[in-house]
Amino acid sequence: MYSEAEISILILLVMIFTLSLGVSIILLSRKNKKIRTLSAELLKEELEKKELEKVGIAITTQENERNEIARKLHDEVGGILSMAQLNLSLAAQEENKEVDQTYVTKAANLLELGNEQLRSITKGLVPHYLVKFGLTKALEKTISQKMGQLTTKYTFKSQIAEDVEIEENKMIHFFYISSELITNLMKHSRPEKVDILLSLDGDQLQLYIKHNGLALSQKDYEKFSQESDSLGLMNIKYRLHLIDGQLNFTRYKINGEILLNTTLNLS
């Protein structure tokens, strides 16, 4: 039998154990509550992070779409309007009324073409003519539109076989760089004669332009490219980066040359 003292000690130990157990349960409950609070906060933060990511993706997508629309308007409509403006400027400089009327008519045709291009852009951002008929036909058409309305003599030749397949994204950027180069050439260099050759040398897609207007050297181009905030130059630099392309200017005494090239992944 246990003595009263032993029983008292046993009861005390049980009480201490019970108290310790109760304190442990309380501490565990508080800890669990804190864990639940932290979990809720982490979940909230995670949800907020995901929402921010969604917002970020939406903003980025929207900005990319705006940039694409801006490039479309500049590349397609802006170039045509520049040619129309040039025709009207030439008309204003002429004294012969019959010649004036010719330039005005050409400007009107360009404005109508620009209006058609604008409607096409509103329907979709994909250059359907380029995708449907290929780079050669698209360049031939845009060169005819931009140079055919002026008195500049030009030739365009392509040495690319019809069965050559060019990656669509690279073809689109190459086309718009080419179109921008032609617009700038006609607007700033004012050549009387231009010869253009589109070719494929191995895996190198090349556009060669020779003209007798005011010519840039490579140093001139690099200087303008770094210092100018022109949307046209920014467009060219941006698209060259996307297709890993190179652009070289050469200036001679009586003419100038421009060479655009990029590497294709040919199967």
Render pLDDT for 141-164 as a digit per residue (tens, 0 to 9): 888 888 876 667 899 999 998 888
| CATH number for the segment(s) 127-267 | 3.30.565.10
Domain ranges (residues) in the chain = 1-125, 127-267
3-state secondary structure of 184: helix
Short-list 183, 191, 112, CA closest to 104: 112
pLDDT exceeds cutoff 90 at 210? yes
Whether the pLDDT of residue 232 is over 80: the answer is: no
> Which range is least confidently modeled, 3-7, 39-43, 152-156, 212-216?
3-7
DSSP bridge partners of 155? 195
Strand order across the beta sheet in which 153-158 lies: 153-158, 193-201, 204-211, 256-263, 246-251
Alpha carbon of 140 to those of 20, 126, 189: distances in Å? 91, 18, 20
Higher pLDDT, 197 or 90: 197
| pLDDT confidence of residue 38 | 73
Q: Quick check: 160 and 135 in contact, CB under 8 A? A: yes
At 49-82, the pLDDT tens digits run 765 565 555 456 555 666 676 676 677 677 777 7
Long-range contacts from 55-58, C-beta under 8 angstroms, 24+ separation: none
pLDDT for the residue numbered 196: 96
Cβ neighbours of residue 238 closer than 8 Å, sequence gap 6 or more? none
Higher pLDDT, 2 or 173: 173
pLDDT digits over 183-199, tens only? 889 888 889 899 999 99
- Tokens matching residue 60: 């980025």
Candidates 172, 181, 173, 169; CA nearest to 233 is 181
Residues comprising the chain, all counted: 267
pLDDT at 129: 76
pTM: 0.59
